[in-house]
Amino acid sequence: MGMAARAVQARRRGRGWALSLLLVVLTAAGAARAEGLWTPLQLSILPDLQVFPETATVHGLRLSLPMGENPRVDGLDLGLVTTEADGVAIRVGGLCLTSDLSGGMALAGIAHSGSLTGLSVAGLCTVADRQAGASLAGIFSSIDRCDGLQLAGVVTIAKDSMRGIMVAGWSAAAGAAGGVQIAGGACLARSELAGGQISGLVNMAGHGGGLQIAGLVNVAERLEWGAQVGTLNVASDMSRGIQIGLVNVSPWHEGVQIGLINFNGAGVVPVLPILNVGRDAGSPPGPSEGSMPEVGKFAAGCVIIPVAAAGVAVVCVGAAVFGHAMDHAGAKIYHDWF
């Protein structure tokens, strides 16, 4: 058989496949329109301009150029802008992706919003009600409830709660943190901490227990157990645990403080260098009893005192150095002239 004949047969087979595919699509579209059934293939330009109606469920492939709309997609969902749909799928959006997936993976070039159980990756930002799995965003990630890994280049936020790991280039904030927060700048657990906070600058937590490690400052309203490690550690109430830093501050601390200066309202001696140990004296007094200063004033005083002491030390050292220099200069002048 010649090459020309084979080329003719190949063109005929190609037209046959195209006609068969078109027949399948038209048949499925008719069935979907007639009975609201599912379709294996959805092609759309806009929600009002697509092969199958918006009520049809897709089990297979949905291709949206630029966008389409269906209540559920199971399989592969591709589009420039994809709209919200339930399902178990791999969803890829060139610009913006909205999903409510019970399982699968969502990939967005710029932004991803919606709930997901699985993996979410966005070039710039992720905004979701619930995430169970892993969420990765280039700059910003905000999820109401996150169970798993939440990672962003700049900021991560879990508005209600976080159970797992939060990692951010600058700040990580959660309503309640049950896990580990890691940030280059600051970590915040607004209500409860049950885990750890590690940051380059500042950690702040409400109540609970865990470990705080910061380059500069750790602040906790109430730690029932745990440890604070930083330059300045402040805890208004620390039942059991340890503070290790340059300056340690606690109006009521029944544990151990190790640092240059340690302020402990529950200690036998309130202020001690190097080491201070609190005594078990029952419940900490409330503000109305007036026996303990407010934590803000107490912390401020504890900062002012060491700063003032350091200033005095610097003046004394400076005076000693100046006196030594003048004595050396005087001796040299006397030796040169006499």
- Range of weakest confidence among 128-132, 138-142, 183-187: 128-132
The rounded mean pLDDT for the chain is 75
**In this structure, what token pair is assigned to residue 201?**
């600058």
Can you read off the two tokens belonging to residue 89? 């799928």
Q: How far is CA 41 from CA 28, 51, 64, in A?
A: 9, 9, 11
- Of 295, 216, 222, the residue nearest 263 (C-alpha): 295
Half-sphere exposure of 207 (CA within 13 A, CB side): 4
- Single-letter amino acid code for the residue at 142: S
Q: Is the pLDDT of residue 31 over 80?
A: no
- Give me the pLDDT at residue 152, please: 93
Residue with tokens 């157990």: 225
Residue 211: its H or E element:
strand 202-214
Going by C-alpha positions, the residue among 279, 195, 270 that lies closest to residue 239 is 279
- What is residue 49's predicted lDDT score, i.e. its pLDDT? 76
Q: Kindly report which listed range (7-21, 138-152, 318-332) carries the lowest average pLDDT score.
A: 7-21
Q: How confident is the model at residue 302 (pLDDT cuts 50, 70, 90)?
A: very low
CB 62 within 8 A of CB 77: yes
What is the full DSSP assignment across 129-145?
Answer: EEEEEEEEESSEEEEEE
**Tokens standing for residue 297:** 């004033």
pTM of the model: 0.69
Task: List the chain domain ranges.
Answer: 216-281+293-309
What pLDDT, on the 0 to 100 scale, is given for residue 211? 93
Least confident of 16-20, 88-92, 176-180, 246-250: 16-20
* Segment 244-297, tens digit of pLDDT: 999 999 888 888 999 999 988 888 788 889 999 887 655 555 443 333 344 444
User: 310 falls in which pLDDT band (50, 70, 90)?
Assistant: low
- How high is the pLDDT of residue 2? 56
Confirm if 239 and 223 have CB atoms less than 8 A apart: yes
pLDDT of 164 > 50? The answer is yes
CB 303 within 8 A of CB 276: no
153, pLDDT greater than 50 = yes
DSSP letters, 279-330, are ---SSPPPGGG-SS--HHHHHHHHHHHHHHHHHHHHHHHHHHHHHHHHHHHH
Exposure string of 117-136, with b = 16+ CB inside 10 Å and e = fewer, is bbbbbbbbbbbbeebbbbbb
Torsion on CA atoms 157, 161, 163, 168, rounded to nearest 10: 10
